[in-house]
Structure 1
Amino acid sequence: MAETIDLYYWPTPNGWKVSIALEELGLPYNVVPVNIGAGDQFEPEFLRISPNNKMPAIVDPEGPDGEPISVFESGAILLYLAEKTGKLFPNEPRKKYEAMQWLMFQMGGVGPMLGQAHHFRQYAPETIPYAVDRYTNEAARLYGVMDRHLAGNEYFAGDEYTIVDIAVYGWVVPHENQGQDLDDFPNLKRWFDAVSARPAVQKGVKVGEELRQNINELDEESRNRLFGNKPSGS
């Protein structure tokens, strides 16, 4: 029986990537909350696992050589879990790189740009019209890229559900907060509904839902921590 993986986690789109993948793969895991509003991501113990002070991260007591291994960055974690199990990622070289390019598209574009759209539309302390327009329009462009691709593909890697779909999914969940309407992207909407119906996805997005915080209830220092600034005096 596989040993239990420690998942350093908070319920966000990036956190959901790993909780969903673990549910899909049926791997045992233990959630270690990383309260990004309280500044847990800056604690020395966590920085030894994730030096970029970002969650999620994992510690697998049964690494590739049988020894414990820690992995940070959500895309790297997904690739690690897929390789560990031999599931959710193509093995045939051409299909593997077709999937890889869409995973990099998510990591380099979808996550950062949709995150900025969400931030400036929902969380910024003041409305900056240029930033709102810039990132809302970029989000729409990326949604269009995904919609065109999915016009001829069931999933991002063709007809095979993979970690790429898991990586993208969490960032499409809050599409309304990014200023997007899925009815404008019918192929993406078809894909989103299909992924949403998967039992492991439903379980994965519920992990730690009791931990979620209302941004409007956070004080200024907690907001600074949440958005990547070190606590005052640190």
Structure 2
Amino acid sequence: MINVYSWSTPNGHKVHIMLEECGLRLGRDWQAFPVNIGAGDQFKPEFLAISPNNKIPALVDPDGPDGKPISLFESGAILLYLAAKTGKLLPPTDRLKFQTLQWLMFQMGGIGPMLGQNHHFRMYAPEKIDYAINRYTNETRRLYGVMDKQLASSKFIACNQYTVADVAIFPWLRNWENQGIAWAEYPHLKDWFDRVSARPAVQRGVKVLADLRSPIRDDREREILFGKTQYQKR
């Protein structure tokens, strides 16, 4: 059984959804172990042993490519591993495969970091900094526009079939309202979002560990997530 060490965040849900979309079922083929990032679980030695960057998610597959256990961190790498392991959600032709990979990299290099900064400065920063809020809100809107334009001529993000790129991007857009987004400005992206939301595997994936997460409750959690604890050398 595959072990997933995760939390209810966009990057965590990427892997939860991917597993379910690949035909692997929670409780039968894989199990989720919560890593409460507000409590500092990500800094525990046993987690750092499989995720040296102290970020969720991480995965341990006892049946790796050579029949031996393999551990992986970085959600994009995990998605590609699962696509290779199951033969799903990554097109077989070189043309479509590389089209898909470019949009996966778009999520890893653009959507994740920029929307993450958007969330931080709009929702979590101890002081409201207009420059930062405007910078990351405007960049978020620009990225939404890139995807909306792509989806004007493509059924899904990378091509006309559902791929790992859709899995990677979708969880990051679920908090669209707090990102300063008005769906009316992105009709093609909204249509895609609704179609992906309706997929049974997606609905199962976003529920994983969701009942354990709560809003930041106190200064201790805020310090763990955003303060000096996060930046200590380990």
Q: What is the CA-CA distance between 1:180 and the residue it aligns to?
A: 0.6
Q: 1:5 to 1:229 in 2, by over 3 A?
A: farther
Correspondence for 2:190: 189
Task: Confirm whether residue 18 of structure 1 aligns to residue 15 of structure 2.
Answer: yes
- Deviation by residue 1:28-50 (Cα, 9 ceiling, x = unmatched): 11111000001110111111101
- Summarize the Cα distance change of 1:151–1:54 in structure 2 as closer, same or farther, 3 Å threshold: same
1:230 counterpart SS class? helix
User: Cα deviations across residues 160-190 of structure 1 (Å, max 9, x unaligned)?
Assistant: 1011101000000001111011121001001
Letter in 2 for 1:9: S
1:172-229 deviation line (CA, Å, top 9, x unaligned) = 00011110111210010010000000000001001111111112x2x22211222374
Indicate the larger mover: 158-167 or 219-228.
219-228
Q: Over aligned residues, Cα RMSD in angstroms? A: 1.5
Partner of 2:31, secondary structure, is strand
Q: In structure 1, what is the equivalent of residue 138 of structure 2? A: 137
1:230 alignment partner in structure 2: 229
Structure 1 unaligned segments of length 5 or more: list them.
Answer: none
1:57 matches 2:54 = no
Contact 1:121 1:178 in 2 (8 A): yes
Shift of 1:157: 1.9
Distance (Å, rounded) in 1 between the aligned partners of 2:202 and 2:227: 27
Whole-angstrom CA distance in 1 between matches of 2:212 and 2:113: 23
> Is the partner of 2:161 in helix, strand or coil?
coil
Counterpart residue number, 1:106: 107
Q: Which runs of 5+ in 2 are unaligned?
A: none
Give the match for residue 173 of structure 1. Answer: 174
**Identity in percent:** 62
Runs of 4+ in structure 1 deviating by more than 2 angstroms, as ranges, are 226-229, 231-234
Contact 1:221 1:231 in 2 (8 A): no
SS in 1 for 2:95: helix
| Partner Cα distance (1:164, 1:142) in 2 | 15
Q: Deviations over 1:49-108 (max 9, x none)?
A: 011000001000000000000010000000000000010111101111010000000000
Partner of 1:7: 4
Across the two proteins, how many residue pairs are aligned to each other? 229
Aligned partner of residue 70 in structure 1, secondary structure: strand
Task: Give the TM-score, by structure 1 length.
Answer: 0.95
What's the counterpart of residue 86 of structure 2? Answer: 85
Q: Given that residues 221 and 232 in structure 1 are in contact (C-alpha distance below 8 angstroms), is that contact kept between their aligned partners in structure 2?
A: no
Q: How does 1:36-51 map to 2 (within 5 A)?
A: 36-51=37-52
